[in-house]
Amino acid sequence: MRALRFDRFGDVDVLDVADVPDPVAADGWAVIAVKAASVNPSDVKNVAGAMHWTILPRVPGRDFAGVVVAGPPEWVGVEVWGTGGDVGFTLDGSHAELIRVPVSALARKPESLSFDEASAVGVNFVTGWLGAVETGKLEKGETIVVFGVSGGVGGAVAQIAHSLGARVLGVDLVAPAAATPAAAVIEEFIRIDPAAPAVGTEVRRLTGGKGAEVVYDAVGGVTTPAALDSLALRGRLVVISAVGTRTVEIDLRDFYHRELRLLGVDSGKVDASASAARLALLTPQFETGEFRPLPVARHFDLADGEHAYRAVAEGTPGRIVIRP
């Protein structure tokens, strides 16, 4: 089969299209013909060497949608989708014609989604669910502030929070485009702008001086002070990233007097099987159309895989999808 592959870390030009042996569906494993596989920022970081658990040489790519072609008879021919913190890191990933995953990692693709759309869900919605629901314990009637709401994870969090009955306030440099799912579910948008009032000030104004019970910071680092400032008494801050700086200063007296919670979430710790269980939980909302992925912006074939990665590295809006 053909696959994108890298045997050293570096810029995206370390990626090559290679002919590699077809994976085999041994006991407990299945082989999927990949129909579409999106490219995530974490895939680019993986190639650059930012993911310490990656074993080289490796086929990258976390998210995928396709058809099972080998494995348990009841699964052969079934359309599936998936992702995982091991896929593309310790297991060969989805930027290939075929991918091998544990049978426990198989999850039926929602019929309402095309292969392209289904391939754009995994990392964003699994990470969003882990942070907002399992870690942040967001509840109906609470207010959540989503930093990075115009991005993939932020947009997923906004939809998940809205479905739970929470009030959603979005924060970003630019507002979500009208055609994106997040635009329809956020109640207020707060622009990060040195000329505008501080984010925390705006959040308190919009919440009657109280602040938000949960802040989901999909940016982190440069936004951490504003995220902490936006929290209500006993508020929970969920952090999944660190942009611009890995270290921040916290006023500990203010922190403990407000009884705040600082919570980290790493989707890289959630393997393909555990991710499949989360996708199964989300399937009904995708079937009804309540949840939608970011629109696909561009398609590439494997031969242009390097260009697909470069488009993501350059911050192209929307999702970038490889069709092997």
For residue 170, list its beta bridge partners: 146, 189
pLDDT higher than 80, residue 195: no
Q: At residue 297, does pLDDT exceed 90?
A: yes
On whether residue 288 sits in a domain, the answer given is no
Shared domain for 132 and 262, answered yes or no, is yes
- The pLDDT value recorded for residue 179 is 86
Judge whether 281 lies within some domain: no
Residue 14 lies in a domain: yes
Which of 132, 136, 179, 187 lies closest to 154, judged by CA?
132
Closest alpha carbon to 39 in 298, 303, 240: 298
Residues 50, 80 within the same domain: yes
Burial of residue 84 (number of CB atoms within 10 Å: 0-12, 13-18, 19+): buried
Per-residue pLDDT at 299: 96
**Among candidate residues 267, 284, 312, the one where a domain is terminated:** 267
pLDDT of residue 194 exceeding 80: no
Domain range for 39: 2-121+293-322
* Residue 231 included in any domain: yes
- The per-residue pLDDT of the chain, averaged, comes to 97
How distant, in Å, are the alpha carbons of 136, 144, 221, 263 from that of 42? 22, 25, 17, 20
Indicate whether 95 and 200 sit together in one domain.
no
Non-local (6+) Cβ contacts of 240 within 8 A are 127, 131, 153, 216, 217, 218, 220, 264, 265, 266, 267
Structure confidence at residue 277 as a pLDDT band (50, 70, 90): very high
Contact criterion met (CB below 8 Å) for 239 and 266: no
Determine, yes or no, domain membership for 283: no
Q: Establish if 282 belongs to a structural domain.
A: no
Kindly report, residue by residue over 117-165, the tens digit of the pLDDT: 999 999 999 999 999 999 999 999 999 999 999 999 999 999 999 999 9
How much is the pLDDT for 193? 86
Structure tokens at 16: 């090559």
127 and 104 share one domain? no
